[in-house]
Amino acid sequence: MAYTEMISYNKKFVKSIGDKRILILGFGREGHGTFLFLRKIFPHKTFGIADQNPKLVRLNLGRLETVRLHLGKRYLGAIKNYDVIIKSPGIAPKLIAPFVSKKQRVTSQTEIFFELCSGTIIGVTGTKGKSTTTSMIYEILRDAGFRAHLVGNIGKPALSSLASAGPNDIFVYELSSHQLYGLKKSPHVAVFLNIYPEHLDYYRNFAEYGRAKANICLWQNKDDYLIFNAKDRLVCKFAQKSKAHKISVTGKYYGLDKAAAREAGRISGVSNDSIEKTLKNFQYLPHRLELVGVFQGITFYNDSLATIPQATIAALDLLGSRVETLIAGGFDRGIDFRPLAEGIWRSRVKTVILFPESGKRIIKEVTASEKGGGIKYFAARNMREAISLAFLHTKTGKICLLSPASPSFGLFRDYRDRGNAYKRAVKSFSKKPRRM
């Protein structure tokens, strides 16, 4: 579908913003994609771009006389000069609330995509597992010959694929809580995996975070489908409010992801044989319980994406008693680590290596009971120090697991940087003589 056809398809949307002053708030990957999309529809329109980065790289902005830049610490002050604010997901709603009036419209790339998309949307959300599940569904559809698109957090910005797509295309959309926030439309097929406390620095409270996640199913109708985790109490509560056909699934870690992907494939008309063939050949994503390898007799796993206690607990349960060393800790969002301590007590972990700042609270919970009395713990200032300790305190035949139960900010740029640093350090230290 060409841009001119898309405009014809949804004249209401174009008319609603065509004569409005539009501000793209946040100019990262998604904001940049939104700009390029709107520029093709409105080639002569002047857009505002606001971002806290004062050195924003001016990529593909076209004629600068049709762009107004608002950069630096006071970027939010530009909001008052615009009618429509297209907010990037990384900017918390509570940050912009003091600057927005009732006359203004705050929207997002996700909302615009849902308004304009003529194809089928399969949306996937969950505190953990959504990237893997989204990838599985996409590959199941692609292998079966469907015109499928991988969009959202893990794929391309959603709007970048819209112009060349038609009513028979399927968009597999990984939806974060930030993208779902304020949405008044749900996907035709919704996959709702789990809800755990996370991003509590972004939302006012956990209840607001949960309500944002729930938008994936709250606006569905009787012709839609909801695939949901029957073992998650809060997910089940929200599922009851959906009018869609409901399909419950269960499973632990990748088992849950596979179960949800199977059902999404079946709803789309893919045969069981084709689904199982795709899942058998599926290559798991980096930093999600990724096997790094066996070095000096120790098996190393990289689970850097485990940024909450529940993800680390699931990894410990899945790998079992061979896990002897756990590397955890990172940015402290104030999450309760008592469940993690209980998970460590249940496991056979003998050594816990901890990063600041949450590492202090993790070890406090682990040692709060006599159950943690036999566990050795060490503080590490960086990844090389952590790996040095791991080689020193992990026996041959055992597992060293990086599963931080905390975000990466502080020591690392993001979970990818942390996971890559882990893999580099493991391979570097594996070449040195081992001391026990």
Give binding residues for ATP as ranges.
126-132
Neighbour count for residue 399 (Cβ, 10 Å): 22
Token code pair at residue 227: 């695939």
Q: What angle do CA 357, 359, 363 make, to 5 degrees?
A: 145
Cα–Cα distances in angstroms (integers) from residue 386 to residues 57, 194, 284, 302, 372, in the given order: 36, 31, 25, 13, 20
Put the strands of the sheet holding 22-25 in their side by side order: 67-71, 47-51, 22-25, 84-87, 105-107
Q: What angle do CA 248, 250, 252 make, to 5 degrees?
A: 155
Element (H, E) at 425: helix 415-429
- In this structure, are residues 154 and 123 in contact, taking their beta carbons and an 8 Å threshold? no
Cα–Cα distances in angstroms (integers) from residue 376 to residues 68, 194, 320, in the given order: 57, 32, 19
Query: Alpha carbon 263 to chain centroid distance?
Result: 21
Query: Residue 298 pairs with which residues in a beta bridge?
Result: 295
Q: What angle do CA 58, 60, 65 make, to 5 degrees?
A: 70
- In this structure, are residues 192 and 302 in contact, taking their beta carbons and an 8 Å threshold? no
Token code pair at residue 243: 């009018």
Backbone angles phi, psi at 122, to 5 degrees: -105, 110
Q: Is 40 exposed, middle or buried (0-12, 13-18, 19+ CB in 10 A)?
A: middle
| DSSP codes, 147-159 | -EEEEESSSB-GG
Give the separation between CA 253 and CA 232, rounded to whole angstroms.
13
- In this structure, are residues 394 and 400 in contact, taking their beta carbons and an 8 Å threshold? yes
Residue with tokens 């893999």: 423
Which residue type, as a one-letter code, is found at position 249? V
- In this structure, are residues 127 and 195 in contact, taking their beta carbons and an 8 Å threshold? yes
Give the separation between CA 218 and CA 121, rounded to whole angstroms.
15
Residue numbers in the known binding site are 126-132
